[in-house]
Amino acid sequence: MGRFILAILAGFLAYVVVATGIETLGHQIYPAAQSVDFGNPEVAKSYMEKLPFAAKLFVLVAWCLGSMAAGFTSGSITKIRHALAAIILGGLVVCGVILITMMIPHPVWMIIVGLLTPIPFALLGNKLAKKPR
């Protein structure tokens, strides 16, 4: 049980590192305007509508590859319940997607992709960790 919990914690840390790195790269290529008040829903919505597609794609890639890294990391550590660890981590990412899309308006297509992809990507990462090398 301790190894399983360690796998979840390490997987979550892997998600944070990978997703943050990708989103940071995206912000360097597409910097956010300094004057945007994300506390104002109308301003935030208008800003999101004007963002280039590629900037939004960076966020989706961060969610997906971060989930894959989480699944890979947890799958590399745990000896039992590999898929369960990946599903838990993917579920945590889905919860994060729900929270961020409630705080900052996102396009509907982005929300749908953000809700549907983390668990499969975490399971893919987990599967890659279990392949014989």
Domain ranges for the chain, please list them. Answer: 2-130
> What is the Cα–Cα distance from 67 to 65, expressed in whole angstroms?
5
> What is the Cα–Cα distance from 104 to 27, expressed in whole angstroms?
16
> What is the Cα–Cα distance from 78 to 43, expressed in whole angstroms?
44
Mean pLDDT rounded to a whole number for the chain: 91
How many residues belong to the chain?
A: 133
Residue 29, pLDDT score = 94
Residue 19 DSSP symbol: H
Residue 19, pLDDT score = 97
Q: In this structure, what token pair is assigned to residue 52? A: 């280039």
- Residue 4 contacts by C-beta under 8 Å, 6 or more apart in sequence? 78, 80, 81, 85
Given a cut of 80, whether residue 37 has pLDDT beyond it is: no
Rg (CA), the chain: 16
Phi, psi of 107 (to 5 degrees): -60, 150
> What is the Cα–Cα distance from 21 to 41, expressed in whole angstroms?
26
Mean pLDDT of 103-116: 93
